Each structure stands twice: as C-alpha cells, then as structure tokens.
C-alpha cells in the first residue's frame, strides 16, 4: 500500500514539475509550484518524515506562493518566447538523467534496513536520545543538541539571506517617514472585502496560537523553531493582506523586525557562549543545569526559540520588502 | 454500529469528493466549475473527516480533526469567494449576465 | 475502509492536476490549486489513521489553517494589477 | 517488485534534470528560479528517501512501545533546515531579479546581455 501510494504521488510530482517548466504564463508556473509543494509534503509524510512534511507545509502553503506573487507583481507576467525547445540543453539533460538512473542501480532499495546510511550515527542518536536528552522527538534532539553547530550555521544563512534581500530592496521605513498620501494611494490590501476581513480576523489568533504550539511542542511531536517561525510569519502576512501593510508594520515595526532577525541568531550564539562561560564546550548544554539532562532540555528550548525568532523576522522582513516595492 | 456509520460517512464523503473532481474537470465555464468544486469540496471534506472522527472516538485526535473540519469549513468558502472576486475584478463576466445585457 | 477514501481522494487529485495544467484561464488553475490543498488535508488525515499515528494530524491542521492565504494573495495580486493585455485575451470561456 | 524500490531515485533523477533544464534553457529569470526550486525539491526527495526504513515510523519515540522501528532522523534534520534556507535564498534570487528588471526593463537573459553590449 505504502509503496503504491508513494509511486502515485511521485508520478504526479514529475508531471507537475514538467508543467511548471513548460508553463507560458509565469503566474501559472507559480500556482503549479503550490501544487508541487503540497505533493512534496505528502511524499515526505508517506516516507515517515513528519517534521520535514510540517516544514514544507508551513513554508509552501503560507509563505512561498505569497513571496513569488509579490515578486511577480513587479514585472511582466509572461515569458517572451514561449515553448521553444532548446535541443542542446534537452540532449544534455536526457543524457545526464540516464547516467543518474544508471547509477541508482547500485543504491540500496527503498526502506532497506541494511543500507549504509542506517549503520553510521543514526542508531546511536536513536539509542542515546532517551538517555542523554530524554525528549521523545529525536529529530528535535539531533537538530538542537547533537548537531547544534549545523543548525546555528543554517540560522546564520537564513539571517544572511534576509539581510541580502533588505540590501537589495530596502525595508519600508518606519510608518511616520512616509507621506500620508503616498500610503493612501497604494490600496494594496483587502480591507473592502468584508468576508476575508471578518474571517481573517477570526483565524489569525488561531494561526498564531498554533505557531506557538508548534514552537513549544516540538520536543514531543513534529515541530520546532523553523516550522513555528514560518507559521507565525504566515499569520502576520495574512494580517497584512486583510488590514493593510501599514497596520501590520505598526504592530511589528521595521525596527522590531530587525531586532527579531538579529536577536534570534544572537540568542542561539549567546547560549553557546554561555555554556563556554559555565565551563562546557560551545553549545554543550549539559552545564546549563545541575542535572545534565535538564540542561539539555533547557538548551534545546532556548535555541529553538532563537531559531523561531530569526525565521519569523527574516520571512516577514522579506515579505514587507517585496510588498513595499510594489507601491 | 460505529463501523457501519463510519463506512457510510466515508463512502458518501468519497462520492462527493469524486463528484467535485469530475465537476471541476467537466463543467463548461469558470463559474460553473467554481460552483461544482467549492460546494462538494466543503461537504465531502466534512463527511470524510466525520467518518474518521467516528472511528477515532473521543480522543485528542478527534479534537484535532474537529478543529481541522471547522477551519476547512471556514476557509474553503472564503477562498472560493476571493477567487470569484478576483475573476470578476479582471473582467471575467459570468455568461448568464452577458446574455441579459443583449 | 480508509483505503477507499484514500483512492477517491487520489483520483480527485489527478482530476485537479489535469485542470491545473489545462487551464484555460488562470482562475481555473487557482481553483484547482485550492481544491488540491483541501484534498491534501484530507489525504494527510486519512493516511495518519491508516498508519496508526494520529498524533501527526498537526500537519493537516497546519494546512487547514494557512492554505487559503495564498488564494487571498492571488486576489490582492489581481487588485493591484488589474487587467493587463496579455491576460484579458485568455479570459473566461 | 524489487526494482520498484528504486523508483524514488528515478524520480529524483528526472526532477533534478527537469529543474536543470529550466535553469539552462529558459531565458526568463523567474522561470530559472522556479527551475532552481524544482532542483532543490529533487535533492530534498533524495535525502528523505534515504531515511525510510521498512516497517518503520517517524522518529518520535512512543512511550510504552519498545519494539518500534524508527526512520533515520539525520537526513530529516538536514532537510528540515534546508527547506527554510531554500525559501530564503529563493527570495534573495527574486530580489535580484526585481532589481535587474528595474535596471533593464526586462527579465529575459538574452535581452539583458544585448543591452549590456550596446552600452
């Protein structure tokens, strides 16, 4: 059953991917990217990766379509020369596909417990997590503690990408800096649509609450800072859509966005420095409390919070940068 | 008894979901497709989720499923509204109204 | 039992993808994407029970909560960019 | 049936190359970005395929269950972070394209090259 479901979803994935590449209208391409992301999440779920599927869901449903549309609104929506085949490229691509497919015959089959990837550190993680950290979600344990350096690096990358977007597009200034008529001219929100407005106002608290649940429940079920940050940002994007960007920027001001972006990464790094000051290694949470296991749990809780803050800040700042450019 | 009820809900739900899919594919105009897809979407979804809730009994999972059903019940029609509005805004006039104008 | 619902949902997914690829107007595609989103929520809920790990319903909950944001973004996109010549030509049939 | 165990890898290969085709053959930069995200998706799929263990379940330890088989947590950690990094970098690319459009008035690669040569 599982394997048939998987094959089915993967085939759809390939069809949609070809559809994206062949779409003449870029808007169509962006919409198909939405389906691509949904299929990806379903595939991850079928392959027993609940955390990854939740991340794909949070990012794909709430953020990526909105961002791509925000970029597309600033430029013409069509490719100039639709549907021209590039024969050389097609040849190269076909040849490489065949080579990669040939190479896969050496790979272990799907789900083979003897595959090399399952022989290395993974069994150790699965075995030692209950003893050393004592939280049910091994993915969170590996993310926060065993491979904390990695995660810190990724957070810095996200932060850098956010800074890069702000360098290129500029963050909208504080609300006072804009002339009122300038703000009134851009009717870039859905305030006059009553139904989305009422419903959005109703749902935003639930979305934000759910984001907090995902953030702090990450040690017990699928979730964590990355997912929670994306969901929280999606909630604020929804607010920005229905109440106007100006209102949204009054709640989370550009200054606050900066503090969120940098603060999260600093919090993460700060925990590392703190553990060093307390006599442990960098990001060695054992020293944070009397009991090493409690220390580990505290450390993971704090760094996940840092991750969540940075991801929220970066995604929101990127959204506002694109939206402000459109006015 | 529970099994029978849950079977019934899941089967009718699946029927509605399929009808919606066929309607989405086969209806002749955009607004007809919108109509076919949005109505069956809400009903079929609710029935299937109810069918699972009956199976789950009174657990945390059931509460989550009720929340999912509630949110889908709210967001589905809103999305349809937003979509129809976007279509209308960019000048796609329903066919029936075109006939009236003649 | 879940398998029947699963198959119905998967067939509907194919139909939605055909509509999304065929168009003809952009709104048909958005409609198909939206419908595909609801079907994914259903599929995830059903599969979570099929696998016997109902604690993974969080995933379906996330989709149920935030999937319609993209449709609202589409509405806003067309409000800001009313009718450009390209799109008017492929209007509704 | 045994050979179907490789199907995920074949899909990975095809997706990878579909994305790559968009990057090298399509002149439109937004299309290139979409191709890049397909490419990214293919890599995610490869990693997540490797985490699957037959008869296993997601690596969230169930209390009271001792004989459960869990899938490999390591690829999941790598890809979980990579998805968020992926959307940030896509946004960065999109920002670059927006600036290119503002400077050249087009997002077609060959046209920007021609405009560069004319200067």
Averages of pLDDT over each 10 residues, chain B, 102 residues:
87 92 87 87 90 85 90 89 82 63 52
Eight-class DSSP state of A287: G
Chain A: nearest CA to B85, how far in angstroms?
A: 9
Answer yes or no: is D105 within a domain: yes
Which residues of chain C lie closer than 8 angstroms to D58, CB-CB?
53, 56
D–B contact (≥3 CB pairs within 8 Å)? no
Residue whose C-alpha is closest to residue C44's, from B19, A204, A222, B6: A222
pLDDT tens, position by position, A5-24: 889 999 999 999 999 998 88
Both tokens assigned to B79: 């999305």
Answer yes or no: is D64 within a domain: no
Chains that touch B (3 or more CB pairs under 8 A): A, C
pLDDT at C71: 87
pLDDT tens, position by position, D10-54: 999 999 999 999 999 888 899 999 999 999 999 999 999 988 888
pLDDT tens, position by position, C50-93: 877 777 888 899 999 988 898 888 888 877 764 444 444 344 44
Give this complex's ipTM: 0.91
CATH code assigned at D114: 1.10.287.3510
pLDDT at B13: 92
Chain D: nearest CA to C50, how far in angstroms?
A: 12
pLDDT tens, position by position, A127-136: 888 888 888 8
Check A203 against B75: CB less than 8 A apart. yes
Cis omega (within 30 of 0) for bond into C24? yes
Checking if the pLDDT of A181 tops 50, the result is: no
Those residues of chain D whose CB sits closer than 8 Å to some CB in chain C are 57-58, 60
Eight-class DSSP state of A263: H
Residue whose C-alpha is closest to residue B35's, from B81, B71, B70: B81
Of A195, A202, A206, which is closest to B81 when you measure between CB atoms? A195
Answer yes or no: is D60 within a domain: no
Of D13, D30, D41, which is closest to A40 when you measure between CB atoms? D41
Answer yes or no: is D76 within a domain: yes
| Domain residue limits at D91 | 8-52+70-118
Using pLDDT thresholds of 50, 70 and 90, give the confidence band for residue A173. low
**Residue with tokens 């890599």, as numbered in its chain:** D43
Checking if the pLDDT of A178 tops 70, the result is: no
Work out the angle between the directed axes of helices A148-169 and A292-325 (0-180°, nearest 10): 20
Domain count, chain B: 1
Both tokens assigned to C83: 């009718």
CA distance C54 to C60: 11
Lowest-pLDDT range of A37-51, A313-327, D84-98: A313-327
pLDDT at C56: 81
CA distance D26 to D62: 48
Checking if the pLDDT of A310 tops 90, the result is: yes
Answer yes or no: is D86 within a domain: yes
pLDDT tens, position by position, A151-160: 999 999 999 9
User: Looking at residues A194-213, what average pLDDT do you find?
Assistant: 90
User: Looking at residues A48-56, what average pLDDT do you find?
Assistant: 90
Nearest CA in chain D to A39: D41
pLDDT tens, position by position, A70-103: 888 888 766 666 556 778 888 999 999 999 999 9
Report chain D's mean pLDDT, rounded to a whole number: 88
**Residue with tokens 């029609």, as numbered in its chain:** B77
The dihedrals phi and psi of A263, each to the nearest 5 degrees, come to -60, -40
pLDDT tens, position by position, D101-110: 988 888 888 8
Check B78 against A196: CB less than 8 A apart. yes
Domain count, chain C: 1
Answer yes or no: is D61 within a domain: no
CA distance C60 to B64: 9
Distances (CA, A) of A32 to A78, A187, A195, B73, D7: 15, 27, 26, 24, 23
| Domain residue limits at C84 | 2-89
Q: Look at A196 and A80; give whichever has higher pLDDT.
A: A196
Chain B: nearest CA to C60, how far in angstroms?
A: 7
Both tokens assigned to D101: 């459009």
CA distance A289 to A305: 18
Cβ neighbours, 10 Å, residue A223: 30
| Domain residue limits at B91 | 2-101
CA distance A65 to B21: 23
Answer yes or no: is D58 within a domain: no
Which residues of chain A lie closer than 8 angstroms to B72, CB-CB?
none
Domain count, chain D: 1
Mutate to test the interface with C, among B11, B17, B74 (most CBs of C within 10 A): B17
User: Looking at residues A39-50, what average pLDDT do you find?
Assistant: 90
Checking if the pLDDT of A186 tops 60, the result is: no
The dihedrals phi and psi of B58, each to the nearest 5 degrees, come to -90, 90
Answer yes or no: is D90 within a domain: yes
pLDDT at B97: 58
Checking if the pLDDT of A177 tops 70, the result is: no
Chains that touch C (3 or more CB pairs under 8 A): A, B, D
């Amino acid at each position: 059953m599982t394997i048939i479901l998987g094959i089915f979803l993967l085939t759809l994935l390939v069809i949609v991917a070809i559809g994206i590449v062949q779409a003449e209208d870029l808007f169509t391409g962006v919409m198909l990217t939405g389906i691509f992301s949904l299929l990806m999440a379903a595939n991850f779920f079928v392959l027993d990766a609940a955390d990854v599927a939740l991340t794909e869901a949070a990012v794909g449903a709430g953020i990526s379509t909105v961002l791509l549309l925000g970029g597309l609104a600033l430029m013409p929506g069509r490719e100039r020369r639709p549907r021209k085949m590039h024969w050389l490229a097609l040849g190269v691509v076909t040849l490489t596909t065949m080579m990669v497919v040939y190479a896969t015959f050496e790979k272990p089959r799907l789900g083979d417990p003897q595959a090399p990837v399952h022989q290395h550190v993974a069994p150790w993680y699965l075995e030692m997590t209950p003893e050393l950290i004592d939280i049910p979600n091994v993915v969170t344990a590996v993310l926060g503690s065993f491979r904390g350096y990695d995660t810190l690096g990724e957070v810095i990358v996200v932060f850098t990408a956010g800074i890069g977007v702000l360098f290129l597009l500029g963050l909208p200034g504080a609300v006072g800096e804009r002339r009122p008529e300038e703000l009134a001219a851009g009717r870039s929100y859905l305030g006059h649509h009553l139904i989305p407005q009422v419903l959005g106002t109703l749902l935003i608290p639930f979305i934000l609450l759910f984001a907090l649940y995902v953030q702090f429940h990450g040690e017990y079920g699928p979730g964590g800072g990355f997912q929670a940050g994306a969901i929280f940002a999606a909630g604020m994007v929804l607010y920005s859509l229905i109440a106007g960007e100006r209102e949204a920027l009054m709640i989370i001001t550009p200054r606050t966005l900066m503090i969120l972006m940098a603060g999260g990464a600093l919090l993460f790094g700060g925990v590392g420095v703190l553990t060093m000051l307390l006599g442990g290694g960098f990001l060695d949470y054992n020293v944070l409390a009397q009991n090493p296991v409690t220390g580990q749990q505290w450390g993971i809780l704090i760094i996940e919070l840092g991750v969540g803050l940075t991801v929220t800040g970066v995604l929101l700042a990127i959204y506002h940068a694109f939206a402000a450019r459109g006015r | 008894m529970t099994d029978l009820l849950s079977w019934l809900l899941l089967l009718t739900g699946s029927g509605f979901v399929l009808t919606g899919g066929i309607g989405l594919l086969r209806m002749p105009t955009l607004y007809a497709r919108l109509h076919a897809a949005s109505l069956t979407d809400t009903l079929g979804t609710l029935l299937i989720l109810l069918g699972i809730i009956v199976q789950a009994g009174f657990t945390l999972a059931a509460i989550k499923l009720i929340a999912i059903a509630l949110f889908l019940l709210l967001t589905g029609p809103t999305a349809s509204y937003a979509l129809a509005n976007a279509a209308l805004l960019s000048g796609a006039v329903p066919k029936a109204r075109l006939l009236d104008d003649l | 039992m879940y398998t029947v619902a699963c198959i119905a949902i998967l067939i509907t997914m194919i139909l939605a993808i055909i509509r999304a690829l065929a168009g003809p107007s952009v709104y048909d595609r958005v409609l198909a994407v939206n419908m595909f989103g609801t079907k994914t929520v259903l599929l995830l809920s059903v599969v979570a029970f099929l696998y016997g790990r109902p604690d993974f319903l969080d995933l379906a909950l996330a989709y149920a909560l935030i999937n319609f944001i993209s449709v609202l973004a589409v509405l806003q996109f067309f409000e800001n960019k009313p009718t450009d010549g390209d799109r008017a030509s492929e209007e509704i049939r | 049936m045994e050979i179907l165990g490789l199907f995920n890898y074949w899909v990975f290969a095809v997706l990878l190359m579909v994305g790559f085709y968009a990057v090298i053959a399509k002149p439109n930069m937004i299309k290139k970005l979409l191709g890049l995200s397909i490419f990214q998706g293919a890599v995610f799929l490869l990693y997540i395929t490797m985490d699957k263990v037959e008869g296993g379940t997601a690596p969230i330890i169930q209390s009271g269950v001792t004989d459960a088989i869990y899938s490999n947590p390591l690829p999941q950690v790598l890809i979980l972070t990579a998805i968020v990094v992926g959307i940030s970098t896509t946004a960065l690319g999109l920002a670059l394209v927006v600036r290119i459009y503002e400077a050249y008035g087009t997002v077609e690669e060959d046209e920007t090259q021609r405009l560069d040569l004319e200067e």
